[in-house]
C-alpha cells in the first residue's frame, strides 16, 4: 500500500492550505463561516492541487460535500454485506484515499465495522 506516500502528500500541502485560506478571505466559500476551515478537493483527488479544484470550506459544509459518498458506501455495504476497501472504492467510483477516509469516518460514527483479515481489511454494516 502507498499509505505513507499519501500521508506525506497531505503534510506537504499544509503550507498550500494556509495560502488558500489567506487568498479566500479566511472564510468558507459556501456559508462564509471562518470556523475550522478545511480544504476540499472537488474532484475527490487529493493529488490534484490545482486552484480550480480546491474549495475552502468550514467543517460543516465540508461534511455535507462528502455525505453523498458516505451514503453510497452504506448502500453498497447493505447490498453486498461484506466488502474489502478496494472493492468498495471500485463500486462507488471514488478513489482509494477518499474511500479510506470515508470508511474511517463511518467507523468513528459507529455505522460500519472493520474486520481485519490477513489478506485484506473488510467492512460490514454495524448492527
Ligand atoms: Zn461553510
Ligand atoms: Zn473534501
Confidence tier at 13 by pLDDT (50, 70, 90): low
Measured in Å, residue 21 CA sits from the centre of ligand 2 at 15
- Other C-beta atoms closer than 10 Å to the C-beta of 72 total 17
For residue range 75-126, list pLDDT tens digits in order. Answer: 999 999 999 999 999 999 888 888 998 999 999 999 999 999 999 999 999 9
When the pLDDT of each residue in the chain is averaged and rounded to a whole number, the result is 88
Measured in Å, residue 81 CA sits from the centre of ligand 2 at 27
Query: Across residues 4-31, what is the average pLDDT?
Result: 75
Measured in Å, residue 96 CA sits from the centre of ligand 2 at 14
Residues 112/103, Cβ–Cβ less than 8 Å? yes
pLDDT the model gives residue 121: 94
CATH architecture of the domain with range 64-125: Orthogonal Bundle (1.10)
Measured in Å, residue 49 CA sits from the centre of ligand 2 at 12
Q: Lowest-pLDDT range, 4-8, 37-41, 48-52, 73-77?
A: 4-8
Domains of the chain, residue spans: 3-62, 64-125
Say what percent of the chain tops pLDDT 90. Answer: 63
pLDDT the model gives residue 43: 86
Measured in Å, residue 118 CA sits from the centre of ligand 2 at 31
Confidence tier at 8 by pLDDT (50, 70, 90): very low
Query: Across residues 44-69, what is the average pLDDT?
Result: 90
- Other C-beta atoms closer than 10 Å to the C-beta of 117 total 8
Measured in Å, residue 59 CA sits from the centre of ligand 1 at 7
Element (H, E) at 73: helix 59-80
Measured in Å, residue 79 CA sits from the centre of ligand 1 at 33
- Provide the 3-class DSSP secondary structure of residue 109: coil
Listed in sequence order, the residues at least 6 apart from 65 whose beta carbon sits closer than 8 Å to its beta carbon are 40, 55, 57
Measured CA to CA, the distance from residue 5 to residue 125 in angstroms comes to 29
Amino acid at each position: 500500500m502507498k499509505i505513507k506516500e499519501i500521508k506525506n502528500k497531505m503534510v506537504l500541502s499544509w503550507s498550500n492550505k494556509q495560502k488558500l485560506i489567506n487568498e479566500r478571505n479566511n472564510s468558507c466559500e459556501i456559508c462564509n463561516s471562518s470556523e475550522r476551515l478545511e480544504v476540499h478537493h472537488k474532484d475527490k483527488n487529493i493529488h490534484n492541487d490545482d486552484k480550480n479544484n480546491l474549495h475552502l470550506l468550514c467543517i460543516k459544509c465540508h461534511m455535507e460535500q462528502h455525505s453523498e459518498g458516505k451514503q453510497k458506501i452504506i448502500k453498497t455495504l447493505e447490498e453486498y454485506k461484506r466488502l474489502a476497501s478496494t472493492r468498495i472504492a471500485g463500486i462507488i467510483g471514488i478513489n482509494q484515499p477518499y474511500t479510506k477516509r470515508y470508511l474511517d469516518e463511518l467507523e468513528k460514527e459507529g455505522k460500519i465495522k472493520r474486520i481485519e483479515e490477513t489478506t485484506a481489511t473488510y467492512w460490514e454494516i454495524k448492527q
